[in-house]
Structure 1
Amino acid sequence: MGRNRTRTDPDRYLTKRQGNFHYKRRVPVTIAHLDERAPHVRTSLKTDDRGLARRKRDLLEAADDALWASLITKGVTDPARRRYEAAVKRVEALDFTFHGAGYFEQPEAFDDLVDRLRHVLATGQQDQIMEPLLGAIEVPKMTVSKAFELYCDEIVADELVNKSQVQKDQWKKVKKRAISNFIRLVEDKPMEEITIDDAKKIYRHWLARIAPKEGKATAGASSGNRDLGNMRVLYEAYFKHMGDARRLNPFEGLGFSLKKKRSRPPIPTDWIRDTVMKPGNLATLNEEARGILLIMIETGARPSEICNLEPHAIRLSNKVPHLSIEPREDPDNPREIKTESSRRLVPLVGVALAAAQRHKAGFPLYRNRENDLSATLNKYLRANALLPTKSHTVYSFRHSFEDRMKEGGLEDELRRLLMGHTVDRPKYGSGGSLDWRRRELMKIVLPFDPSIV
């Protein structure tokens, strides 16, 4: 065992001594003078389980690859970064978490420090593992922009897996604004050098826009809170990832009071019935956008939920025709829905049923193009005077649907379920049959001329 060193050998670099597996690997001759462990790296894996030994071996192998690459490149890439990554992998292989040296200065870290020292003494490998285990490895400095790249590509990469490309772009766009504003107002400085004064500079920038001493406000509190919040999250996540979770966050506690949350006004029911749904008023809107709008009127579904419906989610052959609003789980073309409570079945009634029958295959023109859809609908509705005021948008139809359900006497839990809102109690049953939901919605269905579809 341990003689075959090809990458395909599942037991490469593994030897067994006194019942336990060890990792043993020759240091490349070209850098043997730079690695004090030469000619061989030896580490006890503290296990007799072959599967666990292989997993630990993989971490150590990756650590040594990174370390040796840093010694070979001599600055062509980032040697300090490679050495740090190698230290992290080496510590993880020993079943510990990497922490910077500052962590061990905290009284709360005393027990952890003792455990690590005991491990070092027990293995007799002080030269190989002392520095990584005790954080005596320089943590490479990284600028705000580079830290954001690391955040997206590594720290929260798992959160982006199920998002569509449009959703990923939108997610990054909001957070990148905070990064860009910080760089513009401060500089693209190393994360370690960000101070409370830097954070206050961002706070004062937004304060001047939210509550100017003279003139009108040019921004709302939510915009400032979003920037400060995104910087706070990035700072915390970055240093936790780098093994320094206890570092004080300069953005902590900075924010603005939200006295009143603006919400889109609903469109009056008579306006929808007599103006929007008046024959001819939607005639020049392209068919798919028109179909989405008509479905929205009688389902309250979000435009993005409707335009991304797959054909199998438009269930017209069921006893109760309905939409199944759900995430798209195609690994090549995934898409999240807003929250888990957004997963729901919504009966099709009135003009929504007629529009769905016309668009059985969904809306390919706007699939993964929800931003284009919203722009198209808002532009058309404004250009044709189909919105009551400048404050109304296409999203106001969703609020109108909720108001119509309330005025129609539909119970609160059903309204929440159909809107995709959280129900504030433990979930029991399915929330009522589709037939019952349809009967309730028929209480508020609007009359329509079939020609508008």
Structure 2
Amino acid sequence: MGITNDRGRYYWVKRVPKRFQGIVLGADGKPVSQVRVALHTDSETEARRKAAQVEAQRMAEWAALAAGDTAAARVHYEAACQIAAAHGFTYVPMGKLTGGDIDELLSRVMALAGRNPGPESREVARAVLGAVPEVMPTLPEMLTEYCDLTATRHIRKSEMQKRKWRLPRDRAVKHFLEVAAPKGKDGLPVPMRVDEISRSDALKFRDWWSVRVQKGMQAGSANKDFGHLSEMFSTWTELKRVDLANPFTKLRLEGDTEKTVPAFSRNWVANKILEPGALDDLNSEAVDVLLMMVNTGLRPSEITDAPLYDFCTDAEIPFHRVAPNGRQLKVQHTRRDIPLLGVSLDAAKRIVARGGIQKYHDKAGSWSNLVNKYLKNNGLKETPDHTAYSLRHYVENALLAAGVDDRVRADILGHKYKRPSYSDGGYLAGRREALQKIAL
């Protein structure tokens, strides 16, 4: 984009991009390679502001022209929405405009008055007056747009966290289309446009999940699908200003019991998991992550995703730092420092000696799958419901049994608690004193 001054007045000047050459026409109806628009000001500051607006309008108009040539209906519709927005209007289909508030229609007609006739002006008129056919995205396309619209939610997430966040939403869309979408010649689901999805389709999906739950699937899995689809739909329609009823509301299946992970008993941890040789067939890094949990109650990801410098084993009071470090913490109060003692300190020192977490960095899920399988195959699960995460619950129970103050327990485990902010460093000694009561 550029501006030029001609006899004290400023103009916007731009060379037509290659992808639009041949479709941008001059006053004589012939293609032009450069466009010049009067900005009607002698102020350079105002000229630059106006030039940015003109640039946005013209690029949207040219995109609409190009889309019209290639019959890309969806792109054409999106471009029309952008053109309308660039001229200060929300895109509204013509049928709704003519049947609605006459003042709204008149304001749009007046905004178009005085424009020179030509292909660009016609596209502007079609956009402002809602004459471009309204084309909705398919459900997978809506998911992609939803992710773009909510990008600021994930600024602090690592790439792995972003993938884990997107995965269940992709899965919900896949499940729904497998059940409700028509099938193509290849037998695969044909993605449905969002305005084609009916309440009946959503209820059909609920029925499909209901049968699966009755056969043993968790109702929570079904409700996650319903929740993801409903939230995506409502957010997308709200932010895109699309007037569509959400077909995915009120689908929740009742009667599910929340499955909780039980805590290991102290006897089991001391005499089974820490029995000499019990973990010998597990790789050393996986073992040390597990052992770091024993006296800290740390979440696996708080260990696997930590950089080397968060393993502060040489400090006066050795500790492990839980900090964002390029990833999003579960909640802000999980940021904390945890003293290291006993087998957990020994494990942290071995991790440091190896140069930090290598094999399972940013792969807490892979670590959990491996360790849980190992515990199962080697008789190290106290009950079938116990998992590696049961160590975190063990620490919580052990601290409670030792009479540790609830505020200190919350500090150690990263639970929410209304507490004062410490600045003298004494909190670390207090946490160490509490953990010494249960350390193995």
Shorter-chain TM-score tier: 0.7 to 0.9
1:88 aligned residue: 81
Give the Å deviation of 1:144: 1.7
1:197 aligned residue: 200
- For 1:428 and 1:400, the matched residues in 2 are separated by 27
The change in CA–CA distance for 1:290 and 1:191 in structure 2 (over 3 A counts) is same
Does 1:348 find its partner at 2:340? yes
- For 2:75 and 2:90, the matched residues in 1 are separated by 17
| Percentage of pairs with the same residue | 28
Give the Å deviation of 1:114: 5.2
The change in CA–CA distance for 1:258 and 1:58 in structure 2 (over 3 A counts) is farther
Give the Å deviation of 1:266: 0.7
| 2:323 alignment partner, one of 297, 301, 326 | 326
Q: Which AA in structure 2 matches 1:229? A: G
Q: Which AA in structure 2 matches 1:163? A: K
- For 2:387 and 2:344, the matched residues in 1 are separated by 19
Does 1:410 find its partner at 2:404? yes
What SS class does the counterpart of residue 359 from structure 2 fall into? helix
2:231 aligned residue: 233
- For 1:18 and 1:340, the matched residues in 2 are separated by 56
| 2:220 alignment partner, one of 219, 222, 226 | 222
Does 1:173 find its partner at 2:167? yes
The change in CA–CA distance for 1:88 and 1:122 in structure 2 (over 3 A counts) is closer
RMSD: 3.6
Matches within 5 A, 1:123-202: 124=113, 129-133=124-128, 135-152=130-147, 154-187=148-181, 188-202=191-205
- For 1:415 and 1:201, the matched residues in 2 are separated by 47
What SS class does the counterpart of residue 439 from structure 1 fall into? helix
What SS class does the counterpart of residue 2 from structure 2 fall into? coil
What SS class does the counterpart of residue 141 from structure 2 fall into? helix
- For 1:410 and 1:66, the matched residues in 2 are separated by 66
1:11 aligned residue: 2
- For 2:23 and 2:406, the matched residues in 1 are separated by 71
Does 1:400 find its partner at 2:419? no
2:357 aligned residue: 363
> Does the 8 Å contact 2:84/2:90 carry over to 1?
yes
Give the Å deviation of 1:131: 4.1
The change in CA–CA distance for 1:44 and 1:237 in structure 2 (over 3 A counts) is farther
Taking structure 1 as the reference length, the TM-score comes to 0.79
Give the Å deviation of 1:388: 0.8
- For 2:408 and 2:391, the matched residues in 1 are separated by 18
Q: Deviations over 1:186-230 (max 9, x none)?
A: 1021111111101111111122233x4xxxx42222111111111
Structure 1 unaligned blocks of 5 or more: 1-9, 330-334, 447-453
Give the Å deviation of 1:435: 1.5
Q: Which AA in structure 2 matches 1:412? A: D
- For 1:132 and 1:121, the matched residues in 2 are separated by 14
Matches within 5 A, 1:34-53: 49-53=46-50
- For 2:439 and 2:27, the matched residues in 1 are separated by 77
The change in CA–CA distance for 1:83 and 1:295 in structure 2 (over 3 A counts) is same
Give the Å deviation of 1:71: 3.8
2:264 aligned residue: 267
- For 1:385 and 1:239, the matched residues in 2 are separated by 51
- For 1:422 and 1:432, the matched residues in 2 are separated by 20
- For 1:364 and 1:277, the matched residues in 2 are separated by 23
| 1:121 alignment partner, one of 110, 113, 129 | 110
Give the Å deviation of 1:378: 1.1
1:382 aligned residue: 376
- For 2:362 and 2:339, the matched residues in 1 are separated by 24
- Between the two proteins, the alignment pairs up a number of residues equal to 414
2:64 aligned residue: 67
- For 2:268 and 2:235, the matched residues in 1 are separated by 48
Does 1:306 find its partner at 2:303? yes
Q: Which AA in structure 1 matches 2:321? A: S
Taking structure 2 as the reference length, the TM-score comes to 0.81
The change in CA–CA distance for 1:16 and 1:53 in structure 2 (over 3 A counts) is farther
Q: Which AA in structure 2 matches 1:223? A: S
Give the Å deviation of 1:291: 0.6
Q: Which AA in structure 1 matches 2:218? A: G
Give the Å deviation of 1:364: 0.7
Q: Which AA in structure 2 matches 1:320? A: I
> Does the 8 Å contact 2:292/2:347 carry over to 1?
yes
- For 2:49 and 2:255, the matched residues in 1 are separated by 51
> Does the 8 Å contact 1:299/1:348 carry over to 2?
yes
- For 1:87 and 1:321, the matched residues in 2 are separated by 61
- For 1:438 and 1:106, the matched residues in 2 are separated by 72
